[in-house]
Structures are given as C-alpha cells and as structure tokens.
C-alpha cells in the first residue's frame, strides 16, 4: 500500500487568488500599500505568516493584529471561490480506487474539509490534520509523524505532495519522499524534492 500526504492551499486547491485579494484589501483598509504579485510570491515561496511579517514591518502591534483580523474575515468569504487544481481530484480518486490512501496535512482550519466535502472528495481521504489539531507548523514533521504512527504507514512507500519548500522539508524530516507541485516555477531554493511537477496530469501519466 502506498500513502500520499497532501497539502491543501496551493496544492489540492487554488486558494491563492482569494488569499492574495484578502491580504491586499486588508492592508489597504488600514493604509498599508502592497502589491498583488509580490504578496503572491512571498506566500508561495515562504508562507502567509512570513508575508505578514514582511509587508507589515514597522506597523505597530495593534494595527498589525487588526489587519490580520480583517484578512481572516475577508478570506473566509473568498473561500467559496476556491476550486481544485486541474487534475487534483482525479489523482486523489485514482489513489483511493487503486487501494492506496490519501491524507490531508494542512495549516488551514476545518474549512479545508468542508471544501473537500462540497466537491465530493472527502470520502477519498483516510484522515486529516488541520489547525484544529494544534500541531507545530510545517516544516516541523510532527503532523506527518502522527499520521504515520496512527495509520501504520510504511515510510519507504509514502509521499508528501506540496507547493512550498516547507512541505518538502517536512516530508524529508519525517523520512518520506517529497513531491513539489510548482506550477509557475517559483520555488528556486536549495530544497531537493524527489520529484517536481507543474501539473497533476504528470502524476496521472506517470504514476507516483
């Protein structure tokens, strides 16, 4: 049996357009100028948290907290527009059909599970780790190790699929293989995934 651990934002679902709009609009509401493309690049190459740290440098704590709260409220409304990347649903369904297992490992809250349920993908996942589990954030491998232990995963036949360096680092620290989903070739760091793809059709054509 082969096991697949999937990141959610930017991997299974293209949530970046809504996240970037929410970020920029929240900043504008408090007089902080940002650029859509620059925000997207930092989110992709680093993380949402690092985007806040970078673009809100010099902003006082009270204002920063207000911007983050505003972002959260806007992003919740944007979630309904999020859709799976082309081929993502098909590969997850193929994994389940062939008797293998899918796991979700995300920093997002349970809204990720609600979106999977909306799109009839929840049944193809064996288990989930969300922010509700309160595990350390990736690249810490705790969440992956937890699932591996709970579900007796053979780490020699397991993959983590994600769109950022931190996903690959978490995978390798957990002792499993990393597949980097990099549709716009933005990840140029020294991280060495076992495989790099630009489209999920590559996994359908050449199985994991």
- Give the tens place of pLDDT for each residue, 119-129: 999 999 999 99
SS3 104: strand
Residue 208 three-state SS? coil
| pLDDT for position 190 | 80
* pLDDT per residue as tens digits for the range 33-82: 999 999 999 999 999 999 999 999 999 999 999 999 999 999 999 999 99
Is residue 189 over pLDDT 90? no
> Among residues 197, 12, 200, 181, which one has the least CA distance to residue 102?
12
- Rounded to whole angstroms, the Cα distance separating 52 from 147 reads 30
Q: For 88-105, write each residue's pLDDT tens digit.
A: 999 999 999 999 999 999
The sign of the dihedral angle between the CA atoms of 140, 10, 111, 102 is negative
DSSP secondary structure of 1-18: --EEEE-TBTTTB--HHH
DSSP 7-65: -TBTTTB--HHHHHHHHHHHHHHTT----HHHHHHHHHHT-HHHHHHHHTTT--HHHHH
Q: For residue 207, what pLDDT is reported?
A: 56
Which run of H or of E encompasses 105?
strand 101-105
Contacts for 133 with CB less than 8 Å, ≥ 6 apart? 143, 146
CA-nearest of 97, 108, 124, 99 to 11 is: 108
CB 74 within 8 A of CB 21: yes
Structure tokens, 167: 């996903």
Closest CA to 203 of 185, 183, 186, 179: 179
């Amino acid at each position: 049996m082969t096991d697949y651990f999937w990141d959610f934002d930017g991997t299974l679902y293209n949530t970046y357009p809504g996240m970037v709009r929410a970020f920029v609009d929240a900043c504008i509401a408090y007089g902080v100028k940002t650029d859509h493309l620059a925000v997207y690049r930092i989110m992709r190459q680093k993380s949402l948290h690092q985007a806040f740290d970078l673009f809100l440098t010099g902003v006082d704590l009270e204002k920063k907290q207000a911007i983050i709260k505003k972002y959260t409220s806007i992003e919740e409304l944007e979630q309904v527009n999020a859709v799976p990347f082309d081929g993502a649903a098909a590969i997850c369904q193929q994994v389940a059909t062939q008797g293998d297992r899918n796991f979700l490992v995300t920093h997002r809250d349970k809204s990720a599970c609600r979106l999977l349920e909306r799109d009839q993908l929840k049944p193809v996942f064996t288990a989930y780790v969300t922010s509700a589990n309160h595990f350390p954030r990736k690249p810490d491998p705790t969440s992956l190790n937890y699932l591996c232990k709970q579900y007796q995963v053979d780490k020699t036949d397991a993959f983590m699929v994600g769109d950022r360096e931190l996903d690959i680092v978490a995978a390798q620290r957990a002792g499993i293989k990393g597949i980097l989903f990099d549709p716009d070739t933005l990840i140029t760091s020294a991280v060495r995934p076992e495989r790099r793809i630009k489209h999920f059709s590559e996994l359908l054509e050449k199985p994991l």
